[in-house]
Structure 1
């Protein structure tokens, strides 16, 4: 336009722009500002989740006009289509859409940047009905090409490296939310693992490319996808509201908040990765170097050099040898290989593996130091538990194994699978003790899950063994020294229907010495593959949080943290309480399988035989007891009906049917009966209250309700100690009352008069017979108590030390077992008598004098007289005839 000229409006139409001159029109055509406006294009939009949000501005209200979403680049869509046949995704949780608010936009955060992770996340979102991370970026307050952030630094192909791309992305969203008060963003952390879940179709070569902590290149990632893409896990964490973070920031600036949030996300991804694939363990030698550099070990090395009068270098070499003997050499490929091999192994051995209450563990595992404390009944225990944890997405723990298992070939494999070895006893070796304690301390500091058996060894009788608290004490001291993460103990009940070690247990229970582990023994053990062992059940008990235990015994326990030398007075009691609580929670998670129920029924009869209908009735009674009066919420029971249980026992070879015209008889005989006692003892604690009430009516047809409760409270401390029962004295009385009501309700007992008296039916009644069978399941326990007390009373005060009384009781029980032809090896178990004598001391019934002999008061003789209410005259007279002592004491004790 020439200088000085002005543009004048040519029209007053709405499409005219008066501030600019109009270009000339082509001849014969109207001026462009006079042309009619083209009709608006309407493209049908399919509904999207969540609703499309437009960016708000002062002159345009939010959601006034939908924003058109860009399609992903065609190359990315092509790669996604090519990758889809190679992927099979397992989502955790299975329905992540339930975690999100459909009205708010979503911003996904992943741990590592990569095209493969982006495409895997996109497919997982499509399968779960979630918004795509590739198309939802324009819904965010601060628009992005994708609704996706990666925490690792961004590498440009030619441009510079962006170290803080994720933080900048978070900062942009936070600033946008500050200017748009009505908006919010759901931040969803997503963890992606390729090649994590084992299955039988996996090949050995795939193990090399399974998920680990290493940052791999594009080619290795491509191979991992091709080989292991069908074993992928996508873990969606609960969303985080950025609006809520801004509100709770209390005036904190967006840059500072974005920095803090990125750090929290990195820690979160590390916790989830450690829970899923295991902690980031450096080389074994690096861990050993850190262990030897710790202050307690350095002090122990110096003291050992002075004590042994050797050089410090020599003592340090000895300490390094101990550390190399102890330390595991965890290998993810070996664990992956083991999971592949064990899949086929379990299928050959078992008819299936069941697992209950696992979700409670999954919920607490991230962020906690988990220590698994299962029952120990077979060498398969730790393999089964580690396999099931790995299969279900948690890292297998490091397992404390006896040094006797550090065999050639076997030891290195176990070590690479996470086993660390310890000697049976090392109290006298201060240097070894310091090295071992420092190793446990290192595991705790690195967040490594551990597993050990508080029983110390495998149970040969089926009962939980008295706990050996050495490992618990080491763990507690390590936690008090450096409490970095909260510690939780996870009890696990492992139940079998047949044991691989059954034959060796029979030999040991008959008096043969335990066979020492050897490589040849391991090779012979492959003979178990020729048999089937039924089903296995793993029940996860109530988690035990260490800090709560410490709060109960020492509310000021935090003041002792970091003190190497101080051993607080409350420490031993806290360790003992924790050990007992673990065994109680293991029992509270028991599984009752068909073999358990058959064992409880048949072994309570003199000849281990029952008519088929009587056996069915007894099985139905036991299932009624367990369902109508549950022991705990974590006890599980077989759903099989009584007739199905009988048929299953026959198929498994535990019982034999004897045909008879008047009705078939089911019987178990010989070694089978001895082994069945193992499975009876697994669940005997579940029937203890009912067995006590039934025992009160063995020799009495009528009894006062108050007497049943009074004597039950008197004997309960001893039963509780032996069977690790969960109730206190008052709660046990309430449990007995509820059991009596159940018996009355089902006709096993009747009330007399004003219900203060209880009465059973005549001896030939079916109900009386059922009570008698139930009572005999616990009768041998009462006979053992009677042996110990009668031996004391008959010999008189000051006759025995605790050790002498224990040995005398064992010999008496062995002889009584021969006379009565008992098939219960635990009847003369030395540990059970030792525990009973200890309980007598704790209850104040007996005490030691200056000569270490046991003294007692006259009340103990009254207990012997009260035994006539439970034990038959024949049993009492046989016991008193066998035990040594003077005749006057015997005659006094045996009077009715």
Structure 2
């Protein structure tokens, strides 16, 4: 059935009224325009006995032609005839609030034409018994072309920009068949005059125009989306804000320069920062990206998006994804746009403001910030005010709190700068509640993989440039598998504020307020964001292969062993769920291996006694990135398994006790979600899982745990699980050993960090370690910071580190987890004084401790002697 609100022209019915040239243009335009009226019968809104004057938003011949035709088809009075019974010198019963000027593509807009309103108001003042119906009419040409329309038409779709006559003509020719004419309810000008009382006609005219502008903005926002043209609507507000004016004045006084020069500097900063969002550019870019993603990826999946969309209405949404690739922000914005959600405005480093690329990103919603605000008070104030304007206007935002792309695959320690600015912007004007939406982005192959390895091994980061981008286009020849976007549990800001300071509302409206509780609250928020990102992880086939193969010295496993290990790992993740938002590949173990071969991550070596699967050379190093993506999901199982690397038997209570000691450090590194009691429950459940699977046996009414001998399949599987976390304990031991070996009051935190990094690098060279994150300085820095938070280590008056006796106890406990050879290697390499003593094994009441080396013997796959050797493994 045809849409009853859409009509075609019937020339026999009526003729266009107006000058001959107007009638001619109407006939020429007729085949290009198809009008949909809203409402379908606007005549029901009007009183037939009162003259009508139409008000349109923007002046132009095409708008007048469309309005005249819409009125003619609806049986309404013609806008091309004078207003009847009103003695004003106007030949048309219509006027516009804004007038287009020029014929080009520029944004040209003349001042508000007040004369028509003035004449009508004065005429009615002289004729108390007359009235005029003002009918606001909104005209939209090409408000939302469909995908089948082609990307070029999208460039000329309706938006907020006042364009020249030539561009408007192109819009009519390309998108005229998707024209909407919205008739609003009429306004009685007589009623307005009566309600105005003694207000002068000039002031009343300005008031009516202001109300009409507000009406048109509201209708346009409903039809084409909110006005996000920042440089027209935000920059002026930023520069007129009181904090910016004060900062400009302070800069002028401090540098002894004219105020106008300081203001121009602030203006240039605002223009450097601000986005220039364009609906046509976003829509056309989405068409281009569709082809780009199809060539690059085999598919893009989103999970839990419906939950995120349901939570968003009424909130200022801040998307906070993990940052692993330059494609992160493009993928998220593209998927949101394709799902009917307004893409967020993205905080991007100013290094991405490249020629050609920068303007496109800016029109796609990117706003740029410098890496450091230090030493530039004016820039800091301008950026803070710009962000506050976005928050106040309800513009969705996106930024990466890690501060940069992860080179290791782990989440980085958060940098809270953007979070602090967002929270302070909300505190200043808490009109719209803020919701932080964590997003996990999972890849199966990265375009930047090789450069990440180079940077971790000491090569300088290559500066972004247009030439570098062009050289990097060769990566588009490859396929990068599937990408997954998982939306985590959102975090509302107000409950966190209430918990930190119940009276926080009394501190609002003070732009420079820095309450004491703010820093701790923001740190808590940043931690929760990282935790919720990890709680929405996606486990793909490459993650599972990396967890298994990188736990062997030569990154090789017999096919039968690999199949069993993949099945066990999937069972661990599904039977002991980390969170209800974690997703796992549905592929069976055989399918995972086949997919790994297809993607080129692993190679099959044929052998009469059974095929061997291996990851070789650089591929093995790159795989460590994807193992680290999901390392947190394996953390509890890896800890329990680590307890049985060098011990045949242990009591359940010892596993739990040592786990509670080490948990704060694992938690800080991997952003785990539990408190100590929660982790204890996870350890108990994991032990029960291992017992049910036959990997551990119990005795003494469940108090004692025992694994099988070294050649046992169950013991082998436990070792593979344990080695995913073993490097973390080796790093911890390096830091503790360096402190104890050098003694108290000897090293500063920076000196300890450098000593640890050098020791790890040396150890990696000696043992051909192929996991570059093992000597990542940031991981040592985080561990040292956690020691200080736990009051195990502190700084004396001279800035040197002192430590408690408990630290030496940690050295003693390490022998239960790390093999003797590993401990001695670390102690030998670590710079410092006398080596900490390696005490004799303490006698456990439940069972004697045995070294796993006594149980080793050859298995039926390649390189078995190295497989069981207690050395450093990636």
- The TM-score, its normalising length taken from structure 2, stands at 0.76
Residue in 1 that maps onto 2:702: 755
Q: Does 1:645 align with 2:592?
A: yes
Residue in 2 that maps onto 1:794: 741
Q: CA deviation at 1:764?
A: 1.1
Q: CA deviation at 1:565?
A: 3.4
Q: CA deviation at 1:746?
A: 1.2
Q: 1:202 to 1:687 in 2, by over 3 A?
A: farther
- Give the secondary-structure state (helix, strand or coil) at the position aligned to 1:639: coil
- Give the secondary-structure state (helix, strand or coil) at the position aligned to 1:891: coil
Q: CA deviation at 1:585?
A: 0.7
Q: 1:787 to 1:385 in 2, by over 3 A?
A: same
Q: Does 1:510 align with 2:457?
A: yes
| Aligned residues of 1:865 and 1:894 also touching (Cα < 8 A) | no
Q: Deviations over 1:68-93 (max 9, x none)?
A: xxx9998968899xxxxxxxxxxxxx
Q: Does 1:357 align with 2:304?
A: yes
Q: How do 1:488-567 and structure 2 match up within 5 A?
A: 488-567=435-514
| Aligned residues of 2:695 and 2:707 also touching (Cα < 8 A) | yes
Residue in 1 that maps onto 2:276: 329
Task: Output the CA distance in 2 between the equivalents of 1:197 and 1:796.
Answer: 72
| Aligned residues of 1:197 and 1:392 also touching (Cα < 8 A) | no
Q: Does 1:622 align with 2:542?
A: no
Q: 1:628 to 1:197 in 2, by over 3 A?
A: farther
Task: Output the CA distance in 2 between the equivalents of 1:834 and 1:74.
Answer: 69
Q: Which range moves more in the overlay, 392-401 or 278-287?
A: 278-287
Residue in 1 that maps onto 2:837: 891
Q: 1:448 to 1:272 in 2, by over 3 A?
A: farther
| Aligned residues of 2:637 and 2:721 also touching (Cα < 8 A) | yes
Q: CA deviation at 1:726?
A: 0.5
- Give the secondary-structure state (helix, strand or coil) at the position aligned to 1:493: strand
- Give the secondary-structure state (helix, strand or coil) at the position aligned to 1:581: helix
| Aligned residues of 2:35 and 2:178 also touching (Cα < 8 A) | no
Q: Does 1:157 align with 2:104?
A: no
Q: 1:708 to 1:117 in 2, by over 3 A?
A: farther
Task: Output the CA distance in 1 between the equivalents of 2:9 and 2:662.
Answer: 73
Q: Does 1:379 align with 2:326?
A: yes
- Give the secondary-structure state (helix, strand or coil) at the position aligned to 1:506: helix
Q: Deviations over 1:834-882 (max 9, x none)?
A: 0000000000101111111111122211110111111001100100111
Q: 1:606 to 1:285 in 2, by over 3 A?
A: same
| Aligned residues of 1:508 and 1:514 also touching (Cα < 8 A) | yes
| Aligned residues of 1:328 and 1:418 also touching (Cα < 8 A) | yes
Q: CA deviation at 1:309?
A: 1.6
Q: Deviations over 1:304-353 (max 9, x none)?
A: 11111212111111111111111111111111111111111111100010
Residue in 1 that maps onto 2:36: 116
Q: How do 1:845-884 and structure 2 match up within 5 A?
A: 845-884=792-831
Q: Deviations over 1:161-205 (max 9, x none)?
A: 99xxxxxxxxxxxxxxxxxxxxxxxxxxxxx99765874x44232
Q: Does 1:765 align with 2:712?
A: yes
Q: Deviations over 1:683-708 (max 9, x none)?
A: 00000001001101111111111111
Residue in 2 that maps onto 1:777: 724
Task: Output the CA distance in 2 between the equivalents of 1:424 and 1:271.
Answer: 40
Task: Output the CA distance in 1 between the equivalents of 2:224 and 2:392.
Answer: 17
Task: Output the CA distance in 2 between the equivalents of 1:73 and 1:548.
Answer: 48
Q: CA deviation at 1:611?
A: 0.4
- Give the secondary-structure state (helix, strand or coil) at the position aligned to 1:764: coil
Q: 1:886 to 1:221 in 2, by over 3 A?
A: closer
| Aligned residues of 2:347 and 2:366 also touching (Cα < 8 A) | yes
Task: Output the CA distance in 1 between the equivalents of 2:426 and 2:553.
Answer: 52
The count of corresponding residues between Structure 1 and Structure 2 is 700
Task: Output the CA distance in 1 between the equivalents of 2:697 and 2:546.
Answer: 28
Task: Output the CA distance in 1 between the equivalents of 2:3 and 2:722.
Answer: 76
Unaligned 5+ residue runs, structure 1? 1-70, 81-113, 120-132, 138-151, 163-191, 233-262
Residue in 2 that maps onto 1:693: 640
Task: Output the CA distance in 2 between the equivalents of 1:708 and 1:618.
Answer: 23
| Aligned residues of 2:646 and 2:818 also touching (Cα < 8 A) | yes
- Give the secondary-structure state (helix, strand or coil) at the position aligned to 2:334: helix
Residue in 1 that maps onto 2:193: none
Q: 1:271 to 1:490 in 2, by over 3 A?
A: farther
Q: CA deviation at 1:508?
A: 1.5
Q: 1:227 to 1:837 in 2, by over 3 A?
A: farther
Q: 1:202 to 1:620 in 2, by over 3 A?
A: farther
Residue in 2 that maps onto 1:457: 404
Task: Output the CA distance in 2 between the equivalents of 1:795 and 1:858.
Answer: 14
Residue in 1 that maps onto 2:538: 591
Q: CA deviation at 1:891?
A: 2.9
Q: CA deviation at 1:596?
A: 0.4
Q: Does 1:604 align with 2:567?
A: no
- Give the secondary-structure state (helix, strand or coil) at the position aligned to 2:267: helix
Residue in 2 that maps onto 1:189: none
Residue in 2 that maps onto 1:182: none
Residue in 2 that maps onto 1:292: 239
- Give the secondary-structure state (helix, strand or coil) at the position aligned to 2:313: coil
Task: Output the CA distance in 2 between the equivalents of 1:623 and 1:212.
Answer: 49
Residue in 2 that maps onto 1:657: 604
Q: Deviations over 1:442-482 (max 9, x none)?
A: 11122111111000000111011100111111111111111
CA RMSD of aligned residues (A): 3.1
Q: CA deviation at 1:507?
A: 2.0
Q: 1:792 to 1:559 in 2, by over 3 A?
A: same
| Aligned residues of 1:597 and 1:680 also touching (Cα < 8 A) | yes
Residue in 2 that maps onto 1:438: 385
Residue in 2 that maps onto 1:835: 782
Instruction: Return the structure number with greater relative CO, CA threshold 8 A, min gap 6.
Output: 2
| Aligned residues of 2:143 and 2:159 also touching (Cα < 8 A) | no
Residue in 1 that maps onto 2:855: none
Q: CA deviation at 1:366?
A: 2.7
Q: 1:73 to 1:406 in 2, by over 3 A?
A: closer
Q: Does 1:312 align with 2:250?
A: no
Task: Output the CA distance in 2 between the equivalents of 1:713 and 1:75.
Answer: 69
Q: Deviations over 1:534-553 (max 9, x none)?
A: 00100111111111111121
Q: Deviations over 1:750-793 (max 9, x none)?
A: 11121011111121111111011000010000000010011111
Q: 1:228 to 1:632 in 2, by over 3 A?
A: farther
Q: Which range moves more in the overlay, 561-570 or 620-629?
A: 561-570
Q: CA deviation at 1:504?
A: 1.4
Residue in 2 that maps onto 1:260: none
- Give the secondary-structure state (helix, strand or coil) at the position aligned to 1:116: strand
Q: How do 1:50-69 and structure 2 match up within 5 A?
A: none
| Aligned residues of 1:278 and 1:396 also touching (Cα < 8 A) | no
Unaligned 5+ residue runs, structure 2? 11-33, 45-55, 58-66, 84-92, 95-139, 181-210, 843-874
Q: CA deviation at 1:667?
A: 0.4
- Give the secondary-structure state (helix, strand or coil) at the position aligned to 1:344: helix
**Residue 350 of structure 2: which of 378, 400, 403 is its match?**
403
- Give the secondary-structure state (helix, strand or coil) at the position aligned to 1:855: strand
Task: Output the CA distance in 2 between the equivalents of 1:117 and 1:485.
Answer: 34
Task: Output the CA distance in 2 between the equivalents of 1:221 and 1:717.
Answer: 61
Q: 1:277 to 1:591 in 2, by over 3 A?
A: farther
Q: 1:729 to 1:761 in 2, by over 3 A?
A: same
Q: Deviations over 1:567-615 (max 9, x none)?
A: 1110000111111111111111110000000001000111111000100
Task: Output the CA distance in 2 between the equivalents of 1:272 and 1:709.
Answer: 62
Choose 1 or 2 for highest CA Rg. 1
Q: 1:198 to 1:812 in 2, by over 3 A?
A: farther
Q: Deviations over 1:363-383 (max 9, x none)?
A: 133321111111100000000
Q: How do 1:130-141 and structure 2 match up within 5 A?
A: none
Q: How do 1:574-589 and structure 2 match up within 5 A?
A: 574-589=521-536
Residue in 1 that maps onto 2:421: 474
Residue in 2 that maps onto 1:447: 394
Task: Output the CA distance in 2 between the equivalents of 1:456 and 1:791.
Answer: 30
